[in-house]
Amino acid sequence: MKDKKLKIKIAEDGSVFAETIGIKGKDCLEYIELLEELLDAETVDSRYTEEYYETGTLSVQRKNQLWKEE
């Protein structure tokens, strides 16, 4: 499993730029919401990365059967 990261850049004028890395699907939005809360800030512009459109893989083992959902 890849590490989940939040890459943050603070510009000289105080603007904050953030990018999620290793977070697939809509889960990335939770990280951005947390950052907004911590900074008492609001997102004014955003773009989705390729990872936003990807889904994770879920594997469940039950009674010696393996189910895989993608």
pLDDT digits (tens, 9 = 90+) for 48-69: 888 888 876 655 566 665 555 5
Would you state the pLDDT for residue 37?
93
pLDDT at 70 over 70: no
pLDDT digits (tens, 9 = 90+) for 12-35: 998 999 999 988 888 888 988 998
Predicted TM-score (pTM) of the model is 0.63
DSSP string, 13-68: TS-EEEEEES--TTHHHHHHHHHHHHHT---------GGGG----EEEEETTEEEE
Would you state the pLDDT for residue 27?
87
Would you state the pLDDT for residue 25?
87
Domain boundaries along the sequence of the chain: 5-69
